[in-house]
């Protein structure tokens, strides 16, 4: 039985169409996962279902008694409020907090997340802590329909596992956006995909989606290389799952083998990109007795390791433990408290940080890449790659390459920053939370790239799936140092479930100081909220203009004036939406 029904709905922002005449329903106890590329309209669709945004065309029908709770991608609370007061300020207008029972439930959930000091000021908290507070508030409402926009972003890996288990046992309907593929596999029972303004539905979890998506792509005889890359990246993961031993799952994997063979017989070849920048024949980086401290507290001590070519290491630890400090020490940006770091003769770092660099919005994408990273990428084996081709590989079409950087979404800018890092031909690639704000399609491409990369890779991520796919061993923060582990990220986190929470609780005060640089400034919070109100009023004005333009008795002069006003309004709205997204995505960390 449908509790929400979307009938032929459409949405446009300025002159850009997000989706056209799409239809779907949400059933009782449904578990929907929504995926799509950055800028495809995923968040807008969730907001429409939550009642926070309107459609341009079509109709949304809801059960009269339906209760909804919505977790936004970037929760915003009054910065001067203590936590105990902030939990009573709804993180979304649809989240109706009523009664002492709800407050007690929020406090109980916060305790599960190791947040017990409710007198801490919200403005001093990290993005991860704010996300935990918003999650506790949203989950405590126990609505008929739980809507979550990127719930795992900026949470540590232990909290992600806790949330996954919480949602696996959830009895009511869930509709969520996430790039966490373990979430999609273990929590969802149906996948909706937004692609080029259309909606495709798959009646299964992530592995089922992969199979049917490959079938659909190949049946349509389009982008065979894309289908091949997807299969190549995900097939091994499917086989690694315990349930793959079952007959039903084995048949599914066999079917994917058949599809892969069929794809290889086709005329197209997938684009195999290798980066083998000048490689140190001996060591890339040698580290001895490395120690670091922050604000009088030792982050780690006694670390020693010789980094080698083709080595794949994941860095795992809770928020605030000093992963970014570790990276900056290795690159020579910071001076260690003790220890020695020796670079190889040809060592060249490529650093993809959490926030990405500031990009000049007035420049064209292709011009900016050529000016800042060069026109060609040398693979080191005599083969060169033009900047335009690498951009195309990472989802920048010819039209996007000729567009201004200011027109890119936050996720697209982050993708562009990734291209700039790779174009520099590093042989020591450091990735600091690379999965934040990147869509699944881009993550698959990045994983494919790293599989062929000839240098050393060091990656910090809370995304268990990404670490499991990319790295061969871990460097984990424990017992006052950085220890080596040959477990997968999923295995380590599952076995050491208490480590992340214990360390996080001890480091809250340190996190507060480090997080000050990442949180929204007071003036930006005001602007962010003001933009939401302005956009709402402008959307209403736009709707009124559309009604007036559709009147049959309007004169030519009236229609001309209204048309000009409508055009100006559309540009204003597009600019407001762009600034709203920039403020949100830039300060997500």
d(CA 205, CA 227): 18
Give me the pLDDT at residue 174, please: 98
Q: Is 51 helix (H, G, I), strand (E, B) or coil?
A: coil
Q: Would you put residue 334 in left (φ > 0), alpha (ψ -120 to 50) or beta? A: beta
Highest mean pLDDT among 149-163, 189-203, 331-345, 545-559: 189-203
Retrieve residue 149's tokens: 């926009």
> Hey, what's the torsion of the CAs at 116, 120, 123, 128, to 10 degrees?
-20
250, β-bridge pairs: none
How many residues belong to the chain?
589
Q: Summarize pLDDT for 126-165 with one digit per residue, the tens.
A: 788 899 999 999 999 999 999 999 999 888 888 999 999 9
Give me the pLDDT at residue 506, please: 42
Sign of CA dihedral 265, 271, 277, 279: negative
Give me the pLDDT at residue 357, please: 64
pTM for the predicted model, two decimal places? 0.74
The string over 424-462, giving b where at least 16 C-beta atoms fall within 10 Å of a residue's C-beta and e elsewhere, is bbbbbbbbbbbbbbbbbbbbbbbbbbbbebbbbbbbbbb
Strands 2-13 and 16-27: antiparallel
Tell me the backbone φ, ψ of residue 224, rounded to 5 degrees: -60, -35
Give me the pLDDT at residue 145, please: 97
Higher-confidence position of 94 and 295: 94
Query: pLDDT band for position 42 (50/70/90)?
Result: very high
Sign of CA dihedral 207, 213, 219, 225: negative
Higher-confidence position of 11 and 394: 11
pLDDT at residue 111 above 50? Answer: yes
What's the mean pLDDT when you consider all of the chain?
A: 82
Mean pLDDT of 41-47: 94
Give me the pLDDT at residue 514, please: 44
Cβ contacts of 577 within 8 Å, gap of 6 or more: 13, 14, 535
d(CA 327, CA 385): 28
Q: What is the CA radius of gyration of the chain?
A: 25
Residues 407 and 365 sit within 8 Å (Cβ to Cβ): no
Element containing residue 500 per DSSP (H, E) = helix 497-506
Strands 312-316 and 456-460: parallel
> Which DSSP category does 355 fall into?
S
Query: pLDDT band for position 521 (50/70/90)?
Result: low
Taking alpha carbons only, the member of 510, 473, 511 closest to residue 492 is 473
Give me the pLDDT at residue 529, please: 77
Give me the pLDDT at residue 327, please: 94
Mean pLDDT of 299-312: 92
pLDDT at residue 421 above 50? Answer: yes
Give me the pLDDT at residue 430, please: 96
Residues 273 and 385 sit within 8 Å (Cβ to Cβ): yes
* Percent of all residues in the chain with a pLDDT value above 70, rounded to a whole number: 81
pLDDT at residue 279 above 50? Answer: no
pLDDT at residue 64 above 80? Answer: yes
d(CA 537, CA 239): 51
Taking alpha carbons only, the member of 355, 327, 313, 351 closest to residue 154 is 355
Mean pLDDT of 442-449: 87
Sheet containing 312-316: give its strands across.
Answer: 349-352, 428-432, 456-460, 312-316, 473-478, 481-485
Q: Is 501 helix (H, G, I), strand (E, B) or coil?
A: helix
d(CA 290, CA 384): 38
Give me the pLDDT at residue 167, please: 96
* Percent of all residues in the chain with a pLDDT value above 90, rounded to a whole number: 42
CB atoms within 10 A of CB 537: 10
> Which DSSP category does 525 fall into?
H
d(CA 113, CA 391): 40
340, β-bridge pairs: 288
d(CA 168, CA 231): 26
CB atoms within 10 A of CB 337: 15
Tell me the backbone φ, ψ of residue 209, rounded to 5 degrees: -60, -45
pLDDT at residue 62 above 90? Answer: yes
Give me the pLDDT at residue 562, please: 81
Lowest mean pLDDT among 76-90, 98-112, 248-262: 248-262
Lowest mean pLDDT among 41-45, 80-84, 167-171, 228-232: 228-232
Please give the angle made by the CA atoms of 218, 220 and 224, to the nearest 5 degrees: 40
d(CA 586, CA 574): 18
pLDDT at residue 401 above 60? Answer: yes
Give me the pLDDT at residue 266, please: 38
Strands 190-195 and 338-343: unpaired
Lowest mean pLDDT among 137-151, 298-312, 490-504, 509-523: 509-523
CB atoms within 10 A of CB 531: 18
Residues 66 and 4 sit within 8 Å (Cβ to Cβ): yes
Q: Summarize pLDDT for 450-466 with one digit per residue, the tens.
A: 888 888 999 999 899 99
Mean pLDDT of 291-315: 89
Retrieve residue 431's tokens: 């990735």
Strands 2-13 and 57-62: antiparallel
Residues 488 and 95 sit within 8 Å (Cβ to Cβ): no
pLDDT at residue 427 above 70? Answer: yes
Q: Summarize pLDDT for 216-271 with one digit per residue, the tens.
A: 776 665 545 555 555 555 655 665 665 544 444 555 555 555 544 444 333 333 44
Give me the pLDDT at residue 585, please: 63
Give me the pLDDT at residue 263, please: 42
Tell me the backbone φ, ψ of residue 276, rounded to 5 degrees: -125, 60
DSSP 377-404: EE-SSS-EEEHHHHHHHTT--HHHHTSB
Helix-then-strand count for the chain, H and E: 21, 20
d(CA 290, CA 284): 16
């Amino acid at each position: 039985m449908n509790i929400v029904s979307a009938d032929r709905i459409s949405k446009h922002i300025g002159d850009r169409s997000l989706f056209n005449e799409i239809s779907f329903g949400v059933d009782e106890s449904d578990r929907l996962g929504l995926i799509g590329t950055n800028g495809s309209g995923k968040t807008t669709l969730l907001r429409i279902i939550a009642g926070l945004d309107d459609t341009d065309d079509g109709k949304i029908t809801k059960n009269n008694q339906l209760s909804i709770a919505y977790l936004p991608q970037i929760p915003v609370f009054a910065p001067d409020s203590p936590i105990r007061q902030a939990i009573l300020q709804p993180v979304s207008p649809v989240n109706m907090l009523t009664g002492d029972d709800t407050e007690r439930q929020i406090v109980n959930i916060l305790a599960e997340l190791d947040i017990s000091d409710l007198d801490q000021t919200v403005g001093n908290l990290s993005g991860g802590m704010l996300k935990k507070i918003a999650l506790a508030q949203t989950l405590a409402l126990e609505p008929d329909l739980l809507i979550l926009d990127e719930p795992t972003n900026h949470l540590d890996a232990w909290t992600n596992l806790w949330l996954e288990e919480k949602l696996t046992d959830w009895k009511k309907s869930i509709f969520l956006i996430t790039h966490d593929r373990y979430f999609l596999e273990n929590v969802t029972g149906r996948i909706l995909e937004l692609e080029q303004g259309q909606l495709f539905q798959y009646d299964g979890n992530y592995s089922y989606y992969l199979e049917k998506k490959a079938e659909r792509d190949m049946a349509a005889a389009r982008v065979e290389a894309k289908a091949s890359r997807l299969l190549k990246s995900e097939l091994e993961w499917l086989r690694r799952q315990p349930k793959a031993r079952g007959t039903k799952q084995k048949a599914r994997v066999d079917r994917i083998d058949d599809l892969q063979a069929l794809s290889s017989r086709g005329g197209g070849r997938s684009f195999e990109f290798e980066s083998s920048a000048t490689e140190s024949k001996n060591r890339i980086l040698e580290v001895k007795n490395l120690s670091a401290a922050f604000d009088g507290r030792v982050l780690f001590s006694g670390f020693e390791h010789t980094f080698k070519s083709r080595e794949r290491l994941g860095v795992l630890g809770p928020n605030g433990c000093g992963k970014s400090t570790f990276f900056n020490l290795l690159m020579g940006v910071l001076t260690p408290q003790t220890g020695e770091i020796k670079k190889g003769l040809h060592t060249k770092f490529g650093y993809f940080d959490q926030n990405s660099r500031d990009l000049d919005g007035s420049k064209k994408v292709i011009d900016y890449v050529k000016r800042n990273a060069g026109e060609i990428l040398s693979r080191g084996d005599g083969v060169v790659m033009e900047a335009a081709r690498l951009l195309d590989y990472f989802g920048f079409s010819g039209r996007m390459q000729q567009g201004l950087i200011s027109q890119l979404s936050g996720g697209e800018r982050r993708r562009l920053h990734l291209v700039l890092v790779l174009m520099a031909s590093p042989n020591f690639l450091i990735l600091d939370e690379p999965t934040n704000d990147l869509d699944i399609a881009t993550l698959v491409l990045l994983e494919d790239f790293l599989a062929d990369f000839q240098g050393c890779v060091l990656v910090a991520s809370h995304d268990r799936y990404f670490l499991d796919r990319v790295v061969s061993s871990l460097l984990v923060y424990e017992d006052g140092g950085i220890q080596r582990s040959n477990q997968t990220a999923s295995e380590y986190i599952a076995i050491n479930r208490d480590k992340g929470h214990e360390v996080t609780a001890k480091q809250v005060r340190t996190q507060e100081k480090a997080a000050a640089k990442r949180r929204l400034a007071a003036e930006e919070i005001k602007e962010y909220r003001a933009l939401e109100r302005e956009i709402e009023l402008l959307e209403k004005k736009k709707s009124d203009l559309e009604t007036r333009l559709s009147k049959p008795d309007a004169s030519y002069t009236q229609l001309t004036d209204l048309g000009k006003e409508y055009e100006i309004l559309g540009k204003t709205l597009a600019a407001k939406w762009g600034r709203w997204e920039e403020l949100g995505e830039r300060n997500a960390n």
